[in-house]
Amino acid sequence: MGGMEVHLAVAKTNKYATSESGDSVEVVERPNGGISVVMADGQSSGKGAKQVSSLVVRKVISLLSEGVRDGASARAASDYLFTERKGKVSATLNIVSIDLQTATMVITRNNPLPVLIASVDEICAFDDESIPIGLYRDTRPLISEVPLEPGLMVVFFTDGLVHAGSRTGETLDIKTFLQSLIDDDVDEEETSPQEIADSLLAHAVQLDQGRPVDDITVVAISVTSRVSDSVRRLSVHLPL
């Protein structure tokens, strides 16, 4: 797998005038190499939703870091939420892993929203029917595996992005907007995941007239062939 680099970016904002986001997202190292990003959106918003989404994300990252496979971790999180909240509270769950053992990206969904996979020519949506966790016993995730190769770009998000503009009846055509971002490559330079996550989020906030109607999280991951050095880097910006 020499000569590739994975770049992962998250952009996240809260519903207008709320201090707690119902979305949770964490990135962890996998015990056998690679990383996983785990994103959950708890039903409703505010404190209750935050508790649910962080409970789900915590459970999943704890299992992943012990070497449990992604699908089994999602099922365990579902059973756990179902038991804790007696089937009354749901949460969407996405896990995307860079798995160095299989040299694949593993995409796990318990979320009606699609995961978008972009290549040079087209954007394909993984949008087979998938339900949130927590409402039923034995809820299974959908799992897709994609080989790690340069040019791969994956984008996923919580429903705040999809509902942006609903106050004024506008909608964000995410796929078209993403395509335009990718086409905007300047001087052969590929659009970075951070630019993609930031632009999608900024456009959504604009459609919501600067006051997001819901928490919004966008995650973008790319695989490139450029490798500057063998240094791992992680960066967090946290407005207080």
| Count of positions on this chain that bind a second copy (CB under 8 A) | 51
Size of the chain, expressed as the number of residues it contains: 240
Within positions 56 to 115, which residues make up the interface with a second copy, using CB under 8 A? 58, 61-62, 65-66, 98, 100
230 binding a second copy? (CB under 8 A): yes
14 binding a second copy? (CB under 8 A): yes
- Considering only the stretches 70-78, 85-93, 132-140, 228-236, report the one whose residues sit in contact with a second copy under the rule CB under 8 A: 228-236
Euclidean distance between CA atoms 144 and 165, whole angstroms: 31
Which token pair is 67?
């070497």
- Considering only the stretches 86-94, 114-122, 176-184, 193-201, report the one whose residues sit in contact with a second copy under the rule CB under 8 A: 193-201
Phi, psi of 13 (to 5 degrees): -140, 160
- Considering only the stretches 2-10, 72-80, 82-90, 112-120, report the one whose residues sit in contact with a second copy under the rule CB under 8 A: 2-10
Euclidean distance between CA atoms 190 and 12, whole angstroms: 22
Euclidean distance between CA atoms 205 and 86, whole angstroms: 35
149 binding a second copy? (CB under 8 A): no
Of the candidates 1, 17, 120, 186, which one interacts with a second copy according to CB under 8 A?
1
Sign, CA dihedral 225-229-234-237, equals negative
Residues forming a β-bridge with 104: 99, 147
Name the nearest CA neighbour of 8 among 201, 221, 196, 197: 221
Residues that bind a second copy (CB under 8 A): 1-2, 4-14, 19, 24-29, 31, 33-35, 54, 58, 61-62, 65-66, 98, 100, 148, 193-194, 197-198, 201, 227, 229-240
